[in-house]
Amino acid sequence: MSKPDKRFDLSAIDDQKAIIEQAKIDARKPQDRSVGHIAALTNIPWLIGIVAVVWWTYFK
């Protein structure tokens, strides 16, 4: 006789609930905020361009 498939066992429900609860706990932890600094650096060329256009139109 073969082993019963774990998909149809009720313990699989408990395993999935444990995975979901762990994911909820991990989602509450503070994340690394260094990505925000990198995103802010991507705006620097736009800022330089705007300043250059304003400078050009003002002192032209």
User: Per-residue pLDDT tens for 5-49?
Assistant: 666 677 778 888 999 999 999 888 877 666 667 777 888 888 999
Helix (H/G/I), strand (E/B), else coil: 58: helix
- Cut 0.75: pTM above it: no
User: Three-class SS of residue 30?
Assistant: coil
What 3-state DSSP class applies to 9?
A: coil
How far, in Å, CA of 56 to CA of 52, rounded?
6
- Which distant-in-sequence residues (6+ apart) come within 8 Å of 6 by Cβ? 12
